[in-house]
Structure 1
Amino acid sequence: MDLAFVESGLLEKYLDSDVISAEQVAALLKRRGILDGTPMYLDEETQTPIPPLCEFGRYLSTALLDETTLKDYGRVVGRVDDHLAELNSDVLSATESDLVSYRSHRTQWQKKPVGGSVWSRESFVLDDLYGFLVDRKILTHRPARLAARGRNALAPQVRSGMDIRHLTFEQYRYFRDVGLGGQLPDAQVNPTFRGWSPLRDRAGSDIALGSGTRWREWATVLLPEVGLWPGMPGGAAEFTVQACAKYAKARTIYVPEDAVGSAELFCLLERPDIVCRAARSLERKARDLFVVGEVDVAGGRVRGVLDGVVREFQMSAMDAKLRRITVFEGEFGLEALTLFVCRGGLMPGADAWKSYRHRAWTRMTDLADETTPLLPARRWRWHDLRHTYALRLLTYLENMMDGEEPDLQARRRRHRSYLTGHIRHNPLLIVSRRLGHSNPETTYEYLQYTDDLINEFEAAFNGWVGDDETSYAAIASHAISSAKGGR
């Protein structure tokens, strides 16, 4: 079985038929509600669609999933079929033992086994697939039997909590300045640094940390949203994010003045050169871009030409794909309306930001010396900056509430007043709203990291082991660092 994805933008370039035009096919896809990224499953020999699986792809499309998610879900089914082909089976005739074999292959035997979170997503897709096939009477029953409590053989064996990994102040500065910024550990210029755009990468980390947003939210921000647009007053920025937010749940994003200042420095020193180099290339691609001619800052709207038609969009309603092709006429010609740009002149994608982070980690570990803060065993992720934001804000709000009282008394008073105090002043709910969590229970996971566990260990076990030079707190600190992958 071969896997393909719907890409309406490629129709005009590649469709060669006297029967139907590219415009007619695009209109039909739009009328039927088939989104870009919808998976299509084709027979290897005839290259004709496999009806039951293509129906499942259309079912996913009607769920209004974003393009990346549609492709990820489609690849799950493709991987399963590839594995089953080796067992002389396929998705439609698979047995429970076939699927258990696939689970073992993915989680244990392949060269790089996947973790619990990845398998949890794949098992969800498979469960959804077979539920769809049974509902449509294509199959008489699911291949995997239900066991106790409604679990089946494909369900993850271990359910783990959130993988919360946060940075200390020293760790963040080392990550930002040495890893991304190309400095030496002593804050001097590194003459061997070969990074291409350190100010951009530093600005990205500052906005990610300062706003607590997810990667898709901060990496796709537009210049008017962050306040770097002619006629705007500057300083801190506040805007609404929705289309690029998880589950498209709207919320207000606040970017502090220092983070905006970091982005402004990138716009002054690095961005013009990138834009100038890419202007000619963007001019050649103009017909495939959304060329904005009017920006309504107060109304949060942009107006321009897309596919030869004048269109107007609310900025918060623009998804990542549209933002990536949005340009305006600047000083050097066409330039991206997004804050962050790469060599091609448009917004960097997920793989690009991943490579920036990986190169930063390599520099950090290569330059590590006795002054380097403790580095975790695993590479930091961009999402760790969101965790750091959440913990720092939650701790700060709790300390504001506690005042000068000793820890134990403050903690008791805090937990009494959380349930009885006004909901607007509850630190946990404030952080939950800032992070855009759909359920406050998700934010509860951070509570275990807000108290000073090391001091509690010190008070409980003071003098138990070692001499004055060695305390139980040091041992506990090492144990906690090892368990959490960092400090």
Structure 2
Amino acid sequence: MQLFFTDQRKVRRVGQFAGLSQAELSALFTRRPVPAGTPILLDEAMRPVEPVSSWFRSLALERKDAKTMRSYAYSVLMLLHFLRARDADLRSATETDLREFRLVRQDEAEQVVGDAAWDRDWAAIESLYRFLIRTGEVAQRPWRATPQGSGLASRIRPALRVRHMELDQYLFLRDVGFAGLAPDAELDASFRGWRPHRNRAACELALMTGMRIQEWSTLLLPELGLLDNRHPAFADIEVEACAKFGRPRSVYVAPDPMELLVPYLLFERPEIVAKAQRSLRRRHRDLFVVERLEADDAKVRGVFDGLKVTRTIKNMKPGLRRLAVLETGDGLDPLALFIGQGGKMLTFSAWDRIRWRAWDRLKAWSGGMEAPVVPRRCWVYHDLRHTFALRLLIFLTREALNDAAGQNLPMSTLLDHMTGNPLLVVQRRLGHAHPSTTYRYIRYLKDPMREVDAAFRQWTAAGGASYVTIARSLMNPEEAGHAPTRSLHP
């Protein structure tokens, strides 16, 4: 069995090469549309493997995320190979088969997985069997239901791993790692990085908004009001298609990150766009060429795959955003905020390379007097989101306490609690679906390691006490300022 993933753009290119007209290709996709990224499982004769391929299509028509479908496809493919080796299939599989599949995945495979990875596998298996029951392929699930669930999921909710930065650590990362400065804020003559203004601005934007990397790295210029050489003081963004699970929310971009974008927009970005014109023109037919913006820059209208289309920006997925360019008359200008060589929107792997180069600089400078403490493991972009959440939660909690003390009230009113609850505010800003996700930040409001250091400072040699000093103090309690104690021995 071989697993493939659909790509309409590749089919169009092959069809055009084979001599099919644009109208014929459009009619082909209109009759039976298959969303991009839909998995297709083929057997040795290159025929779809059923009923799995039909399940894949149902997931796509339910608008399941392409990344999720890919994960589900690989999980089910492993299950199919496991069942085939036991002369079984999805219809004849038993609960014992599934339990042994879990045993192999978690204990006996060459590369075993943990509970979180297995739960993703199990989510795919449950989804598949719900489809099989709905279509009549099987009469019931092959596992027994229990009060706690199916009994095959781990039911272990992974702890939220929060790693946040102090101010000196963040400035060290932003200015030394990403911007290429020396720890004393002077220029580093040895720096050979590329586009430091862009990288520094991206770091600031990630911290000051709390957006995930898929959200801030896929931003378009119109969303920030940055077209036509405009530089507004702040911006409000409606995040939807690029948010996790497509969950909409509003994101406020403060003046500081907007100001740090200016050097990049004035100096680095025009140079990248100018050098990319030949590459953009060569890819013209594969791009979404925007001819004009409508509805106060909330919609774009242009040509995509030879067809006139209009799209709402907040509903544009990352794949389409990467292809969006504006026809200015003097050339093609990518609508993406952060672009790299060739005028393309930077991918996650490109941002990852930038992060590791920044980390190498931090490690090289970490021994100096001006450098703060760096963690053992490399910073990740999500640590900026955690830092945003914790700093905002601490600030709002202090504000709420000060308000309560100033009003001299024994308890806040219900309205005050609903409008000013710090956890609810942070939940809304981060786009968490459930308050319980935000509550897990509470344990990190205080650094436990600092509390441990303070609690045991006098116990350590660094506190100035030695074993001899402590022993003499215990043997002579009156000299140590304590009342005499009765001996334990008669």
The TM tier, using the shorter chain, reads 0.7 to 0.9
Say whether the 8 Å CA contact 2:143–2:150 is kept in structure 1. no
Deviates more, 1:33-42 or 1:175-184: 175-184
Give the corresponding residue for 2:477.
Answer: none
Give the corresponding residue for 2:443.
Answer: 448
**Structure 1 residues 59-102: Cα deviation after superposition (integer angstroms, max 9, x where no partner):** 11122123333223223323444555666666665554554454
Instruction: Give the whole-Å Cα distance in 2 for the aligned partners of 1:325 and 1:415.
Output: 57
Secondary structure in 2 matching 1:384:
helix
Give the corresponding residue for 2:433.
Answer: 438
Give the corresponding residue for 2:70.
Answer: 71
Tell me by how many angstroms 1:218 deviates.
Answer: 0.9
- Alignment partner of 1:264 out of 255, 262, 265: 262
Partner AA of 2:55 in structure 1: F
Instruction: Give the whole-Å Cα distance in 1 for the aligned partners of 2:313 and 2:252.
Output: 16
Matches within 5 A, 1:381-396: 381-396=380-395
Say whether the 8 Å CA contact 2:165–2:384 is kept in structure 1. yes
Give the corresponding residue for 2:119.
Answer: 120
Instruction: Give the whole-Å Cα distance in 2 for the aligned partners of 1:140 and 1:98.
Output: 17
Instruction: Give the whole-Å Cα distance in 2 for the aligned partners of 1:195 and 1:106.
Output: 42
TM-score, with length taken from structure 2: 0.83
Partner AA of 1:69 in structure 2: T
Say whether the 8 Å CA contact 2:231–2:262 is kept in structure 1. no
Deviates more, 1:75-84 or 1:122-131: 75-84
**Structure 1 residues 8-41: Cα deviation after superposition (integer angstroms, max 9, x where no partner):** 1111222489898785565454454531111100
Instruction: Give the whole-Å Cα distance in 1 for the aligned partners of 2:31 and 2:51.
Output: 21
| 1:429 aligns to 2:424 (yes or no) | yes
Matches within 5 A, 1:139-288: 139-153=138-152, 155-156=153-154, 158-230=156-228, 232=230, 234-288=232-286
Tell me by how many angstroms 1:221 deviates.
Answer: 0.8
Say whether the 8 Å CA contact 1:134–1:141 is kept in structure 2. yes
Partner AA of 1:394 in structure 2: L
Secondary structure in 1 matching 2:341:
coil
Instruction: Give the whole-Å Cα distance in 2 for the aligned partners of 1:195 and 1:267.
Output: 18
Give the corresponding residue for 1:465.
Answer: 459
Tell me by how many angstroms 1:279 deviates.
Answer: 1.1
Tell me by how many angstroms 1:339 deviates.
Answer: 0.4
Give the corresponding residue for 2:348.
Answer: 350
Give the corresponding residue for 2:481.
Answer: none
Matches within 5 A, 1:242-391: 242-296=240-294, 298-330=296-328, 333-371=331-369, 372-391=371-390
Instruction: Give the whole-Å Cα distance in 2 for the aligned partners of 1:212 and 1:81.
Output: 40
Instruction: Give the whole-Å Cα distance in 2 for the aligned partners of 1:294 and 1:439.
Output: 39
| 1:38 aligns to 2:38 (yes or no) | yes
Instruction: Give the whole-Å Cα distance in 1 for the aligned partners of 2:461 and 2:430.
Output: 45
Say whether the 8 Å CA contact 2:222–2:297 is kept in structure 1. no
Say whether the 8 Å CA contact 1:11–1:22 is kept in structure 2. no
Distance change in 2, residues 1:456/1:174 (3 Å): closer
Say whether the 8 Å CA contact 2:65–2:245 is kept in structure 1. no
**Structure 1 residues 129-157: Cα deviation after superposition (integer angstroms, max 9, x where no partner):** 1232233232344344445512322x126
Instruction: Give the whole-Å Cα distance in 1 for the aligned partners of 2:141 and 2:188.
Output: 60
TM-score, with length taken from structure 1: 0.84
Tell me by how many angstroms 1:427 deviates.
Answer: 1.9
Distance change in 2, residues 1:52/1:181 (3 Å): same
**Structure 1 residues 245-278: Cα deviation after superposition (integer angstroms, max 9, x where no partner):** 2232322211111101222211122112221221
Distance change in 2, residues 1:402/1:25 (3 Å): same
Distance change in 2, residues 1:104/1:393 (3 Å): same
Gaps of 5+ in 1: 472-487
Instruction: Give the whole-Å Cα distance in 2 for the aligned partners of 1:216 and 1:351.
Output: 12
Partner AA of 2:463 in structure 1: E
| 1:12 aligns to 2:6 (yes or no) | no
Distance change in 2, residues 1:3/1:239 (3 Å): same
Tell me by how many angstroms 1:201 deviates.
Answer: 1.7
Instruction: Give the whole-Å Cα distance in 1 for the aligned partners of 2:205 and 2:71.
Output: 28
Say whether the 8 Å CA contact 1:39–1:74 is kept in structure 2. yes
Tell me by how many angstroms 1:420 deviates.
Answer: 5.9
Instruction: Give the whole-Å Cα distance in 2 for the aligned partners of 1:470 and 1:87.
Output: 68
Deviates more, 1:127-136 or 1:318-327: 127-136
Gaps of 5+ in 2: 466-490
Instruction: Give the whole-Å Cα distance in 1 for the aligned partners of 2:84 and 2:314.
Output: 44
Distance change in 2, residues 1:79/1:321 (3 Å): same
**Structure 1 residues 201-260: Cα deviation after superposition (integer angstroms, max 9, x where no partner):** 221111111111122211111112123222645211112122212232322211111101
Partner AA of 1:42 in structure 2: L
Secondary structure in 1 matching 2:412:
helix
Distance change in 2, residues 1:465/1:340 (3 Å): same
Say whether the 8 Å CA contact 1:224–1:297 is kept in structure 2. no
Instruction: Give the whole-Å Cα distance in 2 for the aligned partners of 1:414 and 1:38.
Output: 58
Distance change in 2, residues 1:82/1:363 (3 Å): farther
Matches within 5 A, 1:100-139: 100-108=99-107, 113-139=112-138
Instruction: Give the whole-Å Cα distance in 1 for the aligned partners of 2:139 and 2:84.
Output: 22
Secondary structure in 2 matching 1:125:
helix
Tell me by how many angstroms 1:294 deviates.
Answer: 1.4
Partner AA of 2:442 in structure 1: L
